Chains A and B, each alone.
Chain A
Amino acid sequence: MKEKDILGRQGETLAAGYLETLGMRIIDRNWRCSSGEIDIVALDGDTLVIAEVKTRRSLDYGHPFEAVGAVKLARLHRLASSWCHAHELRTSSRRVDVVAVIDDGIGTPSLEHLKGVG
């Protein structure tokens, strides 16, 4: 595994732990289909949460949130539909969250969470 992928995995684990502390139930991770990958699928009450995790070492190349553009958001919404279809699950509501992890490898990683984007 490349170093950047290890970092990404660490970030996702961190984010999943964080979401659980918020009371969400993680029901799937790193789900793949032909059109892409969902990092975390969770349930917040009866709302289905599709979470995208972005992890960076530093802010030198911009904030992780800035890497989530309109195209990526649209793909996340498409993936959410695919996931529901694949799992034959119908939820009354679902949303897309983004979690930014900044982990410089020295101090405690910092975590930011945006709910219901786009």
Chain B
Amino acid sequence: MGVARSYCVALLGLNGYIVEAEADIGQTLPNFLILGLPDAALNEARERIRSAAQNSGIPLSRRKITANLIPASLPKRGSGFDLAICMAVLGAAGDIRSTEGTVFIAELGLDGRLRPVRGILPAVMAAVRAGHPDVVVARANAAEAMLVPGARVRGYKTLARLAFDFGADPQDLALDYDPAEEEDPDDAGTLPVAVPDLCDVSGQGDARRALEVAAAGAHHVLLSGPPGAGKTMLAERLPGLLPDLGDRESMEVTAIHSLSAVHIEKISLLRRPPFENPHHSATAAAIIGGGSGLPRPGAASRAHRGVLFLDEAPEYERRVLDALRQPLESGELVIHRSAGTAAYPARFQLVLAANPCPCGKASGKGVDCTCTALMRRRYFGRMSGPLLDRVDIQLQVERVSLADFGQAGGEEDSATVARRVAAARSRQRERLGGFGLETNSQVPGRLLRGVLKLPPATTRILDSSLERGVLTARGYDRVLRLAWTLADLGHREQPGLDDIGQALSLRQAVAAA
């Protein structure tokens, strides 16, 4: 009898902190206290732990049990601390031997089974980083925990088995209890989702080309055009052109997914860039993350290292669109709420789609359009300014012509384009790796006009446009970035006149913008 301790992890956003659970058994009337800023779910741990231990055959001590979670100032939420507290209490009672530095992350069922919890991946990553590689989780979480390099993961189904391995007296233990794995009725979540292929798009040569350039240089895109032109279809095909995620990136993406997943138990390493397609009625909290208490990741973070597609972008609240400026700049979202501050990564590729005007008919000659000039300006004005400033490619998508539409088939498929994109990406990494950059879209202006400066003969059109005031200084840099991507796609050492010309046409864009 006395004091014992074990370890678990508290998650604040994606950042995990090691929490020490110490338990003391005092010689006074029975009671069970949990100290250290527990929330409601964590306070209910007392009843879960008591029942689980009883039903596993190692009843808790009938004295005053005090469990303390250290550091006390860190808010702790949820049910993932159940097991760590339980092990500390059993240790204090002398029922099991010391757990040393082992980290326990699982919820306890009343029958003594270990239940999986959300956010195992970031939690185990934090444990390993903090020097606690031995981790015990619920069996259903084990596969996910094992994704973390360097972690020594043990998955258990029941508390009785776990206690046995830590030296509990096997005589009373319910070792035969073997709860059935909960079958997920909706197993579709594990099947690879079919990514739509670029060969489904008929015609639209310019738009296809623009999409390829966007994929190659990770440029943000605005597609503008009348309803039915295929903006949404094009945008949905962008993730299929992107290269697979690297090891570090896929860990980041999987960690966010682990926090926000609906099916806790079905998490495997995500190798493909995610695609998020929120509805335009979404609130700022839904896009950038939020919620009561500790903020949860929003669509922008779930699109990390992938594509965030905002269809009908002018229909979004202006506040929501402007909230995206911070992650576009820093690749990170910092959200403050009462229970703490969470930072989620949000380095996504933004794809905006918009009708040219509220009625959607103001393209081409625009004869059918019933909107006034002011309405058209206002409509686009909702997403103008600093947001559009960061969108390198601004493209007009026209309705497909009958000639193109009739000739279905024979279009390039995503795999072919993806190969060119991958080649262009590796050229960028070679050139930009030394500056700590990966893609052309990240290159700052001073680099473009400094080390990567092009000969004046090549940039003559741009220089004169700048002089005449047709092009802004920021626009000048964007054309250069695109030109570099075009050169990478064409296996040229550096952009030539043609590339500059094409780059100019890719952002010639949108009348009112």
Question: What is the interface of chain A, defined by CB distance below 8 A to chain B?
Answer: 63, 65-66, 68, 73, 98, 114-118
Contacts and interface: CB of A to CB of B under 8 A. Distances in A.
A7 to B, nearest CB: 20
A37 B285 CA distance: 61
A117 B62 contact: no
A98 B29 CA distance: 8
Interface in B10-50: 27-30
A25 to B, nearest CB: 23
Contacts of A117: 28-29
B62 A66 contact: yes
Interface of A is mostly: loop
Given A63-B62, A114-B27, A115-B27, 9 more contacts: A65-B29, A66-B62, A68-B29, A98-B29, A114-B28, A117-B28, A117-B29, A118-B28, A118-B29
Interface in B145-185: none
Nearest to A66: B30
Contacts of B29: 65, 68, 73, 98, 114, 117-118
Nearest to A69: B29
Interface of B: 27-30, 62-63
Central interface residue in A65, A66, A115, by most chain B CB within 10 Å:
A65
A50 B450 CA distance: 88
B57 to A, nearest CB: 14
14 contacts: A63-B30, A65-B29, A65-B30, A65-B62, A65-B63, A66-B30, A68-B29, A73-B29, A98-B29, A114-B27, A114-B29, A115-B27, A116-B28, A118-B29
Contacts of B27: 114-115
A65 B27 CA distance: 11
A104 B489 CA distance: 87
A65 B30 CA distance: 6
The 8 A-B residue pairs with the shortest CB-CB distance in the complex, in nearest-first order: A63-B62, A66-B30, A117-B29, A117-B28, A65-B30, A68-B29, A65-B29, A65-B62
A73 to B, nearest CB: 7
Contacts of A66: 30, 62
A63 B30 CA distance: 9
Contacts of B30: 63, 65-66
Nearest to A118: B29
A68 B28 CA distance: 11
Contacts of A63: 30, 62
A68 B64 CA distance: 12
Nearest to A63: B62
A62 B421 CA distance: 69
Contacts of B62: 63, 65-66
A63 B63 CA distance: 10
A83 B414 CA distance: 91
Contacts of B28: 114, 116-118
Contacts of A116: 28
A91 B19 CA distance: 47
Nearest to A64: B62
A39 to B, nearest CB: 16
